[in-house]
Structures are given as structure tokens and as C-alpha cells.
Amino acid sequence: MIRAVIFDLDGTLVQTETIKAASYGEAAVELCPSCANVEEVTNAFKDVVGRSRQEVSQDLMDRFHLESATRKKMSKLNVREPWEAFVETRLRIYEKMLADPQMLRSHQLQHNIDLLHRVHSMSLKTALATTSEREPTNHILEVLGIEDQFDLIATAEDVKKTKPDPEIYLLISYKFDIPPKECLAIEDSPPGVQSALSAGAWCIAVTTPFTMKVIHESGLLDDRWIVDNPDALDSVFRSMLEERSHES
């Protein structure tokens, strides 16, 4: 049976992936105006959504030949690697975007937030498992007014390895003293799904325009546990609980 439901943040409770994609695009153009435009980088971000900052930055740098431009910024930004210069440039832009509460509220994914409220009202534990840092995570939760809906919040600062490694789900399982097989993850991207499944948890993927294609192509989940239409989420969630209730 399911005793805990663990939610991802970016792309699940709030569509920060759209904001992140735009920030990577603007950072790339700022670093090298002749290398790419914002739209090209935003579209490329769909292929790396859910991965770590280093992986995303390195991939986009390679695609758009940004390494030379980022190397020139390393000393000024006091970093050791080109990808870190890209990250620092991108974070400055991203943090400015996140500072606007209205932007965050306009990007909240209400169907998943409604599910969070429902789960919180049930006799189930709730947790957040995010690869984001704690400070921006707390800011987003506060703006959306859902910081009190979680029994536990785990961020990138709580683990050595981020998704798709299972560490964050195993950590939550350990802290709840609930076996992974009695935990259900609500994710949106392949790295998140892989993290949950590798930990031994169950998973429902609620896709977005950024992740729909890659989720289906990944083959990680049976199609019945993939939600493309938000209207189907409640039914899929109930089906998962029902099936797991018959297990010992």
C-alpha cells in the first residue's frame, strides 16, 4: 500500500522549467550573441530538462559552442570551470525572474497542487524531492502558499548525488521510516522518474510540453502511469492507490 507521496518541484508543482529555459537562452545570448538566439536554446533545453546544472550547462555549451565565451568570464565570476561561468550568468537572470511573485503564480501547475492538497488531507505522508537549492525552493513554496503542505522537504543540499540517482528518494524513505515500495513519486521528467524507480518507489509522471515527448520515449513507465491530460490525474492517482492497496 502507499503510505507516502513525494512530489517533485520544478515542472511538477510549478512550471519553472519554462522560466529556466528562458534564463539559459538569455544567458547564452549574453555570453555570445552570435552563437545562438533565445528560442534555439529554449528548444534545446527540452532535451536536458530534469538534469543537473552541470549536465544542462555543459550540453548547451557544446551545442552552441559557448566554451570560449564562458572561459573569458571565469576570472570575473571567480569560478574554475567554463560550465560554472554559464551557470552563474544564468542564475543571475533566473533569480531576477523568480523574484517576481506574479510570474511564479502564473506558472503554478494547479492540477498537481490540488493533488498535493488532497494527499495532505489524507492519512498519507507528503514530501518534496527537488534538485533545486533550498533557498529558491523555500521562496517558491512560500509564494505559492504551500510550504505547510509537506511533512519533509529534501533539496539538492541534502544529497551528494541528484536525480537520476535514487539518493534523494532513499533519504526520504529512510527519514519517514517507510519502505520505498510504499512510496509514490509524482514527477515530470525522465531523470526524476528514474530516480524514484531506482529507489524502489512507484511513480506517476505528469508531463508538460517540455517533457511529454521524452517521457514517452524513455520507456520508463507503462503508459497508464503517464498523465498527459491533467483532467485524468485524479483517476490515475486513485488507480495507483487501489492497485497498491492489494499488496502486502
Q: What is the pLDDT of residues 18-63, one digit of tens each?
A: 899 999 999 999 999 999 999 999 999 988 887 888 999 999 999 9
Instruction: Report CA-CA distances (Å) from 128 to 8, 41, 136, 202.
Output: 6, 28, 13, 15
Query: 128 φ, ψ to 5°?
Result: -115, 130
- Mean pLDDT over 125-147 rounds to 95
218-231 pLDDT per residue, tens? 999 999 999 999 99
Query: Which of 210 and 178 is assigned the larger pLDDT?
Result: 178
- Mean pLDDT over 61-86 rounds to 95
SS3 6: strand
- Residues facing 202 on adjacent strands: 184
Query: Which of 204 and 53 is assigned the larger pLDDT?
Result: 204
CB 203 within 8 A of CB 221: yes
**pLDDT value of residue 248:** 61
168-190 pLDDT per residue, tens? 999 999 999 999 999 999 999 99
- Mean pLDDT over 98-102 rounds to 92
Quote the CA–CA distance of 91 and 239 in Å, as a whole number: 40
Determine what percent of the chain is predicted with pLDDT higher than 90. 90
- Mean pLDDT over 200-216 rounds to 94
- Residues facing 5 on adjacent strands: 126, 184
Quote the CA–CA distance of 80 and 73 in Å, as a whole number: 10
**pLDDT value of residue 156:** 94
Quote the CA–CA distance of 96 and 245 in Å, as a whole number: 45
**pLDDT value of residue 9:** 96
Strands 125-129, 202-206: pairing kind: unpaired
Please say if the pLDDT value at position 87 is more than 90. Answer: yes
The pLDDT confidence band at residue 64, using thresholds 50, 70 and 90, is very high
- Mean pLDDT over 126-151 rounds to 95
**pLDDT value of residue 49:** 82
**pLDDT value of residue 68:** 95
